[in-house]
Structure 1
Amino acid sequence: MDIKLKKYSHSIITKIVVFIIAVLCVTGVMQAAVEVEVINDGEFASVAEDNYFESRSFVQESENIIGNLATLIKEYKNEEYILSGGTIGVDEWRMEEENLFSNYQLQSASYSFKLSDEENYEVFKKEYADEISQAKDSMIKEDLKEYHLLKQSLDEYEEPLFYASDGTNVFTNTMMTDKNQFERYPAYMVFEDYKREVFPNEAKENEHLYHRIIEHLDVLDPENAVIYVAFTEEFIESQTIEWQESKATATENLYKIIGFLIGFILSFIYLVLVTGRKSFKDRELHFHSGDNLYNDIKIVIIISLIPIWIIPVDELSEDITTLFLPITIPIVVIGLLLVLSLVKHFKNKTLIKHTLIFSIIYKLVTFVGDVYRSGSTGVKTVLIVIGYPILIALTFFMFPVTIGIAAWFAYKKVKSFKAIQEGVETIKDGNLHHRIEVSGKGEFGRLASNINSITDGLKKAVDNELKTERLKTELITNVSHDIRTPLTSIITYVDLLKREKDPSKTEGYVEVLDQKSKRLKILTDDLFEAAKASSGNMPVDLEKIDVVSLITQGLGEVNDKIEARALDFKMNYPKGKIYVTADGKLLWRSIENLLSNIFNYALEGSRVYIDIEDLGNEILLTFKNMSATELNISVDELMERFKRGDESRTSQGSGLGLSIAKNLVEIQKGKFNIQIDGDLFKAIIHLPKHMSND
């Protein structure tokens, strides 16, 4: 048996057969990959998809339509809006002006370091008036071009049916305008009035669909913007058939690739073991004429074979079934032979030595060394007589070029250094808005970038310091005002109580004192809790919390307040239990503060939405309500201590609720922020999801 193994393991016939198997396996892998690329855009994802509504093609189809519609109604609206400059954002235009101003600084003789930035900017606007106008026209043309491209893309859709409007502009490919008409179809999407409705359930449960379209919907005005999309039965049927065909192709070719890869790996391992040897005991490597080709040239050929194969295959994608094998097999054969030749040299430890570059360098070094070691005066004299004029000639022709390059390089460096020096002087004089413009990525470029970063940091630090000082001043003022008011009333009524003899009036004074003392207690307790929460010293006991049960139970406890304000609470949450890692008491305290904020400021008789979403590693809680008064305050100011949505400060709260809620959430390793959209107030809490299976 051992003799037979020796006989056939290294025989030329066995090697040829295994080599053919390896070539066929590589060809099979490439053919399967090309078929999936042509038919299924190179994606194997459909193998794991159960139906069309879970497929990548459905997600892409929906995202393309909804993304284009959302962009049109949010950004571009109509031609008149674009031509009026409505699509040019403030930040976008400011960047364009800054670029023009930078060019003005570098190129215009009118720019002067003696003038202030404001004075230079006024001169710039006059001198560059035409360039500014042209830049704005160019931006408008680009937006107009994009607007028409989007419309043209939507005009090509006969199905699915869609309707989108922002209350003024309408984009549609159907006569239907009512969402009820769209909901009659077997599949649809309706987005209006803060609602996002997707049918059927397979599409609704498609997480990829939700995450891909949510970013487009978040930018829309929920009060005015609507998007309806309906999929007809014929469209769904045709797309399902196409998806099934793609899935079948992907599945079949995935199995082919796995099988061919296993076959190639096994055959290649065998070829690596036996190549260059006549038996396993053979210590000598046997080379053929083809192995004499330099290894670096072989590597270049192998790399060149890749585009040589890709170009014809890409050009002949329609006839790939008939022309694939004649194109691929010769290339695979050549490539595999070259790889096996490299393997031989690797075994022989000549992979580097048998390269053209190594041979040239080795021969040159050897020749020079031999000359100087020979001691032959005649040979040295001949080399000097021949080599010296050649060296002089090379130096003569290269000298002007090298001097020119050196002079240009020195000029660029001196110019960059001067720009940095002048910029530092400007910044040192207090102009933190100055930017040092140095082109290139060399040392001076990095130095200028670092100085600009330091300047940005200084500006940010100064702004933060000013903001901190302002907050401290406002905090002291507001705390003093809020505490002094009930305290003054207490002092006044105590004085009246001392002098009052009428028992009936005394009872009224005592009631007022009770109210004011409770008010003072609320203020001091909230102030103490805010200070404790912001310091981070509050003990936290993290545990597994059923957040849906916590909120449901809490709403039951404050039902009397809900009925008093005639509020309609709507909770939206996934099926099944949702657990977070949090401190139950602190989490309820945070939610209780948000509910208290809603009871104080929500529009009476309005709806309040509480949405709970599972984002994978975290749980998202969103509280949304309509404000009873105009929200004429920024988000940053609303989050500051002792700030309220109503600036009259007539509420019974301390104004610390949102600040306390934010700090309590953050010490539980969560995130808290708020958003304002018109009169819509939205509080958003991110909490870590509890990952254990218990």
Structure 2
Amino acid sequence: MRNISHALITKVLVFVLAIVCITGTIKAIIDTELVDEADFSSIYQNDYFESWAFAHESQSLTTVLTQLISKYKSEEYILSGKALAEQEMREIEEELFYDYNDSYRYNPKLSEVENNRIAQEQYEENINRKKEAKIREQVREFYRLLDTLESHEGIVYYATDGERVFSNSERTKKEQFESFNAYMLFEDYQQKFYPDEVKESRYFDYFTHEVEQLNPQTDIIYMAFTESFLQQKITEWEKDKAIATRNFYEFIGFLVGFILSFVYLVVVIGRTSWKDTEIHFNVIDKLYNDLNLLFIACLTPMWIAVMDTMIVEGVHELYMLITVPVYIIALLLILSLIKHMKNRTLLQHTLIYQLLYKVFIWGKSIFDSGRTGVKIALLVIGYPVVVAATIFMFPITIGLAVWFAMRKVKSFNRIKEGVEQIKNGDLHHRIDVEGQGEFSQLADNINRITDGLKKSVDSEIKSERLKTELITNVSHDIRTPLTSIITYVDLLKIENDPEKMAEYIDVLDQKSKRLKLLTDDLFEAAKASSGNMPVQLERIDIVSLLTQGIGEMDEKIEASALDFKLSHPTEKVYVQADGKLLWRSIENLFSNIFKYAQPASRVYIDVEDVGNEIRVIFKNISAYELNISAEELMERFKRGDESRSSQGSGLGLSIAESLIDIQHGKFIVQVDGDLFKAIISLPKFLNE
């Protein structure tokens, strides 16, 4: 409880710190916006002439003078209609033309010519009325501009279009304005500024683009700033810059504090401790996420509107009363969204998702429980309901329906084409249908049937190949001793020498035994693979069996010069197997080792206890190059020497595999270069 309380107190303190920092950040921005002559950008400006304050002061005067000498000129000029630009007259005519066509009523009692004459007169009368209203508006704008000129105290100006002059002094010469410490001259395609910092201002285009309307052949504007005016403005600008600089550093400090506290809250929110991986929710988190976002989206413009009203009415000092509650609510809602993001329920915990999901589950339960006819009926009934519910987005609904239908048709055609290819014998073809519907299940079932057919065909091909190889190998291995027997029998018939006859009989004895061995192995392999051999499972001490077997083969081991290394656990291990069949399998492996192992090499036999089974591993170095795979070695009549010059039948490994298999074990052969490895895995005997 202490840890939980401590973590909760820390979260609350950091939350309060975040609110204080974000409020301080907003305060720094608002206080800077309330400064008339400077903003955050003024911090990096070294001179008043580079500032927004100077640009704004200059732009307001250049705009007025440009409008007066290039457009309005004088009251008489405006009343003559010359101040109306062609664009303005065209807009008036187009507006009246469309309005009159909609409002004029054709009089059937008058002729068409008379109707056209009346319509034209009314049209021209309306144009004149609109034109006069526009001219009166321009006269009012003309005098408003003149009043604006009088408000620019401290700026000496002279503007003329060659006929009319607007000036607040007797200075009319360019040289007279160049005597001031700051001036702007626009004359004859030229612009001259002093000091040079004016041209380096980032706002230069802002207060000079208006003069592009001047006629360079006749229009002139001279402006100069008095020393007292500049001193006053520079002093005010430097004071405002100091305020903006202070506010900027406050803004940075509070912003960094808010970011750090917010990151901390993001990391720890929803967890009671650093080790806690579960997300814990509270009452606020029960609010659906889409409603949460809606509240945040509404709070922001509402707060901005209230702040604008307070600033306009001059009561911005009270903004804390509005800002603090708004940001507390907003931050709580944002942290709630972050909790759901951590819990991966941002989308699932929305009102829209829950409603759609319930409708989907309801429809799916009906759709899945019915037959195809029921599903079609549900689609026929449900689609009009969906269209009626979404009539405002009918084109989208139609588009989705067409897309769904085309997708199903495409899936059906894909299945149809796939079945056609499979029917033509392409068993490797796969039918890919996206989704989880009936077409997808049908395609998956067809693919499974294809896989079964392919396995069956591959198995049949392999079986035929094995039969062919079996016949070939059996014929070769049996024919060799049989041919020798026939040959030596023929020799005996004509031989009278007792010594040679004894030699021939000895050869016949060897070849007949070889032939018997082959036929016995073939019979045993067939019997083992058929599964007809009786199996009596019992507890077998595998280590004792191996030790006894190695002892009985001591003479063969000495003759082969092989060094057998037996490794086994210290405690006794028992397997569940048939003693005779298990020994027959091991004996076949020993026989295989004696026939094919490299003379004078080591043979490793490892017994391992691996849970519920005992594993016996035989490893030896082959005397022949093992250029065939382990699978090929397991095939019947396969030998490690492709020349088939050894005395083996090629059935030993196959017999061993079959015998181990009927004892519920596993027999695996592995080949790594010349290293031959055979692994026997048998169930452990668990009942003592």
TM-score after normalising by structure 2 = 0.48
TM-score after normalising by structure 1 = 0.47
